[in-house]
Amino acid sequence: MIKIGIVGGTGYTGVELLRLLAPHPALEVKVITSRGEAGRAVAELFPNLRGHLDLCFSEPDSKQLAACDLVFFATPNGTAMQLVPELLAAGTRVIDLAADFRLSDPDEWAKWYGMPHACPNLLAEAVYGLPEINRDRIKSALLVANPGCYPTAVTLGFMPLLEAGLVDASRLIADAKSGVSGAGRTAGVAALMGECGESFKAYAVPGHRHLPEISQSLGRITGDPVGLTFVPHLLPMIRGIHATLYAEVNDKSVDLQKLFETRYENEPFVDLLPAGAHPETRSVRGVNSCRIAVHRPQGGNTVVVLSVIDNLVKGAAGQAVQNMNLMFGLEERTGLNGIALLP
């Protein structure tokens, strides 16, 4: 059995990770850390885990964590980079669900996250954990940077077009919407029901922290910097991301439906819908799937790609489990075969 440790298991990403790991047949969760909840039963804080996980939160202990085969960090940005070097030195593999190792440039990281990077020497070693791009590298990785939720939905939507060189990569637009769980479990006025209920707004238009991550991913596909306008929005719902993506096609004779079908036909967690479809966020609630539909309205030059994920699953914890399966030679779908919740 794979011995698993989790650092920071008290947020929405943490409980989602526990929900997926508890019934996983190939592992055992050995330790879950939380300074604020140390000594408290996990199932007391998260009653959905009652009867599935008999474990208490504990203070972070580097020796306990180093005894694990793999440690997940479900912590705020800036935490993992303080502990990861010690774990890697002990031979423990790491998946970080925060942003500490997503950007390859430490100066760019400091610019967007407001602090110097604690171990910039590890940025080149970290593998960006989007399996649809880096599957082979993830298998042998010691350190995986789990992608952000917006970057997952946007990158998977644009990728076939950019790989084929079919669109103007200098004029990409990503209009994306997220449920409030994307803001985390920490109390905040903006996430109160009285503030966000029955309302809809854009935010961080001048620049969102996921912008450099998305631009980096798309630039790696094209081999050159891209021009991306990224506008996130807050929706009055709990889970889900809907990304509406726009690009200008340079060859209208290409069958875009066939292009996407070919690119994703062997991807277990990308579901290309039939021509003319409109994916809904509720269709992926609770599962590790990205559903995509591609359109070219009125047969014009503009391509519109619709991409939906559950921000807590394919956008976070589910993708982390997918990466873990790859790292330990397990079948990629192991523990991730659930069916979305409806209604």
Q: What is the mean pLDDT of each run of 10 residues along the chain (343 residues)?
A: 95 95 97 94 96 95 96 96 97 98 97 97 97 98 98 98 97 96 78 82 95 98 97 95 97 96 98 98 98 97 98 98 98 97 91
What pLDDT shows up at residue 236? Answer: 92
What pLDDT shows up at residue 187? Answer: 67
Pick the CATH number of 150-311 from 3.30.360.10, 3.40.1280.10, 3.40.50.720, 3.20.20.120: 3.30.360.10
Strand order across the 290-295 sheet:
201-202, 228-234, 172-178, 241-248, 302-309, 290-295, 270-272
Question: What is the pTM for the complete model shown?
Answer: 0.96
**Known catalytic residue at 196:** no
What pLDDT shows up at residue 245? Answer: 98
What pLDDT shows up at residue 152? Answer: 98
- Indicate which residue of 68, 119, 149, 290 is catalytic: 149
Domain boundaries, the chain: 2-125, 150-311
Pick the CATH number of 2-125 from 3.60.10.10, 3.90.700.10, 3.10.450.50, 3.40.50.720: 3.40.50.720
What pLDDT shows up at residue 22? Answer: 96
What pLDDT shows up at residue 274? Answer: 98
What pLDDT shows up at residue 183? Answer: 78
